[in-house]
Amino acid sequence: MTLEHTPKRIVIVGARGLLGQAVATALRARGDIVIATSRTAAELPNSDQTIVWNPHEESFPPDLLPDIDTICNFAGEPLAPKRWTVDQKRKIRASRILTTHKITDALRAGSHHPVLVNASAIGYYPVTDAVVDTDSPAGTDFLADVCVEWERTARAAESYGSRVVVLRTGIVLDREAGVFPLMMLPIKLGVGGRLGSGKQWVSWIHIDDAVGLILYAIDTQSLSGPLNLVAPEPKQQEEFTRAAAHILHRPSFFPTPSVFITTVLGETSTLLLDSHRIAAPKGIRYRFRFPTLEGALTDLLAPGHREDVAS
């Protein structure tokens, strides 16, 4: 904790997920009090307090609101690896919208209005090879529809007096969790290569910068609305794979045809084949630790390398 930092009381919804765990750890490291919600009575190891809350059965605990500064809502059914059946699509949508509704309903009814930092995704944007930013219109596919409703639900809290930031998050690169280890597995096995054409753009962010930007969003009173959680250097999928293979000293010339991916994954294949070339945040005072893909992959993949050690 720095001398300038005033400790905050912060509720994390979705504290078991990749972002939830990493943000909770960072907040506690700087002296904040982390209150995690959980559907079970099991204590979460990276929180100061665990509150049992099942959003499918209960309202958001109103007793929490008077004493907290920020709610971070990262809750949501994972997008992969399950196929997007009708039932799975329902779960993906409901897990995001329902939980957010319960939070904003509590904010509407209460007299205290903490900051709401709410998850979203770059799936909000249309599929295109062109660079898009937060001023760009939404897409029209399933994920875009979910994100539009998700963000609309969260931003309703603005009319109740809360500052709201929605995090349009790209692919988060983390050594042990999320999709990155699965992305690296075929490369480590020596059978990595382009997926489909390999020309689709991948908008990524190192976990350290994802956490850094989220803390920046929590702390910066002038920041509201959408925030792109992506690094300044998106890469085409073929380039991404080639860079990772080079660091791992593996080949990267085994292509996987689009037809095979769509046959195996169905509509879920859009996560691998769709192109999203998203602009990094502009006009903010945040310095990326890992602005380049080479630096991020070296930190995550090179044996014995850590930027904080190397620097």
- Judge whether 261 and 269 are in contact, CB under 8 Å: yes
Q: Taking the domains of the chain in order of start, what are their residue ranges?
A: 9-238+261-301
Q: Cα torsion for 273, 19, 116, 26, to the nearest 10°? A: -150
Over the stretch 147-161, which tens digit does the pLDDT of each residue have? Answer: 999 999 999 999 999
Q: Does domain 9-238+261-301 have CATH number 3.30.479.10?
A: no
Phi/psi at 88 (5° precision):
-65, -40
The reported pTM is 0.94
pLDDT in tens, the chain (311 residues): 445 788 999 999 999 999 999 999 999 999 999 999 988 766 677 899 999 999 989 999 988 899 999 999 999 999 988 899 999 999 999 999 999 999 999 999 988 999 999 999 999 999 999 999 999 999 999 999 999 999 999 999 999 999 999 999 999 999 999 899 989 999 999 999 999 999 999 999 999 999 999 999 999 999 999 999 999 999 999 999 999 999 999 999 999 999 989 998 999 999 999 999 999 999 899 999 999 999 999 999 987 666 654 33
